[in-house]
Copies of this chain bind each other. A is one copy, B any other.
């Protein structure tokens, strides 16, 4: 069992610091409606009102309770690795409101306690009660693990126990499920923490009920007289929006709201892992395959359209009207992590890395104060202003959101990043991500510490040092990133020759008697690669994207001027790295010689006739920056995919 991971990484430590010193304190203020110029959150106030400590109306979304819960979860992760009495005191204050807001029977939801009393559990399809409960449970588990304080964990168990009486197969119980998956994965966490099998069973129940006929949404819709919470959607009838169109075992394509899909898959993988349900695992594999081979952006983003924040269909990946929600990539990372726990195959870790180093980090500004909800791969600020198809796309990160799901999601993911780096299976320790720091494992009687020093982000090199209380026969399984095309391995500073049989499922397996002080050096090379999309992707045809190491690159107006669509990159252009003081952690920018179509003046006709003439081109030098750093300078155009010269 993996005991703990502390991160000291040239790339990630800064983000963890930002989360701790900027994001979490800022969100505390935001949750208390104390950020000037931002929409009030009402979230903490809702709990205080429900607790009888304040007066007034419920404010914010029906799922507003989930924001403080995610904040609490992030704090729990931070406190697991670093004590911080002030932060702990803030959390304890919040917890005191939450616990007071819990009803005598265990029910906890400020919206239905304050605003729609008596309507508990009447609109599961739309109203997120179990979703909020799930986030409360996740926050409680994280905080309990950090502090050992039972108050919040007891409240979570009381809530889960209450839910377990309301929902279930018996007469008088609701045979339903939440429109927004989350409770499923949270109940498995609670099961793992408490050992109470009823929570695992309840999670399985919710998954199995989903999409069954006669349809629960229609039944509850009729029962409540047809009232609707989100009139702009048709959630009660558009079953696919919330993945309720089929039983989960029968779903083969990722349909509907992208975040819900990946939260559902995470819960399915958790239950499959705990129950050994091979059929359920197979359903996870099918959905994974559909997402990553047909419906995922190069940046690990998912969700091709704004309507319903949803998937569309195979190979429909518009760069410009993308939804590509930060939360959806975070959910994809959850799903990948769960699959890695079940079957360590590098394809899961490759996607996890892609989403993490691109969409997730792009989701937050480099000062930790502003966020993207939508992460397009191509932006023109004029279109965002003047064409409604782009109204959801912002050319600048925002301070906060009316629906503020993304910022606390980034915070909790980065604060818990240590949980994504390694897994252990028997005597094998898998390294999925090359993030510097210290990780402790226990293999049989042997305590093992891996100290990873990583220059992975900048030059693709990793140094690992093993500490073991006595020599031990075990296997190190080291992921070979999908972008690496050379590999050099040293053990104890001597070249290590790799046998092809050592490559299994994308991991290099090194079995030996590892001794205290052994070192492993990995060099994955750091080729600058041109990416080409599958020929069925309409939006990337004839274009190329640039990737170096885990980072997808992009062109920005700040470096390359207006009209990025006019740039063409010859296939034979050399791509060279150049270090830049503006870039974090020595991640370089990339330069190339390219061409730009001559800018036509305002007086040039809209359409030109010719029998033969060609577009006039001028040679230009262009600069690619890592995608995650875009929109940290002036507001302007950006594109990941660039037209390529044949």
Contacts and interface: CB of A to CB of B under 8 A. Distances in A.
B607 A532 contact: yes
Interface in A600-646: 600, 603-612, 614-615, 617, 643, 645-646
A508 interface: no
Interface in A275-325: 292-294, 296, 298, 304-308, 312-313, 316, 318, 321
B305 A605 contact: no
Contact of A535 (B318, B536, B598): B598
Interface stretch (A96-104, A359-367, A563-571): A563-571
Choose among A380, A532, A533, A547 the residue with the greatest number of B CB atoms under 10 Å from its CB.
Answer: A532
A447 interface: no
Given A312-B387, A565-B541, A646-B614, A531 B382 contact: no
A240 to B, nearest CB: 11
Given A389-B389, A646-B645, A611 B529 contact: yes
Choose among A534, A572, A606 the residue with the greatest number of B CB atoms under 10 Å from its CB.
Answer: A606
Contacts of A296: 606
Contacts of A643: 541-542
Contact of A600 (B534, B566, B571, B600): B534
A487 to B, nearest CB: 15
A614 B604 CA distance: 34
Contacts of A537: 606
Contacts of A565: 538, 541
Contact of A599 (B529, B535, B609): B535
Interface string A348-383: 000000000000000000000000000000001011
Contacts of A611: 485, 527-530
Contacts of A612: 530, 571-572
Interface residues of A, number: 68
A439 to B, nearest CB: 29
A386 interface: yes
Contacts of A388: 305-308
Chain copies in the assembled complex: 2
A205 interface: no
Contacts of A568: 542, 646
A88 interface: no
A476 interface: no
B316 A387 contact: yes
Nearest to A321: B389
A166 B227 CA distance: 44
Contacts of A389: 305-307, 318, 321, 389
A206 interface: no
B387 A305 contact: yes
A353 to B, nearest CB: 14
A82 B346 CA distance: 77
A482 interface: yes
Interface string A409-424: 0000000000000000
A503 interface: no
A483 interface: yes
Given A532-B607, A541-B565, A386 B312 contact: yes
A533 B607 contact: yes
A121 B606 CA distance: 41
A191 to B, nearest CB: 35
* In the complex, the 10 A-B pairs of residues with the closest C-beta atoms, listed nearest first: A307-B388, A313-B386, A312-B387, A535-B600, A538-B565, A529-B609, A312-B386, A535-B597, A541-B565, A534-B600
11 contacts: A296-B606, A305-B389, A389-B389, A485-B609, A527-B611, A529-B609, A529-B610, A530-B612, A532-B607, A535-B563, A535-B604
Given A313-B385, A533-B608, A536-B600, 20 more contacts: A292-B606, A293-B605, A296-B606, A306-B389, A313-B386, A316-B382, A318-B389, A482-B609, A528-B611, A530-B611, A531-B607, A532-B615, A534-B605, A534-B606, A534-B607, A535-B604, A535-B615, A536-B563, A536-B599, A542-B643
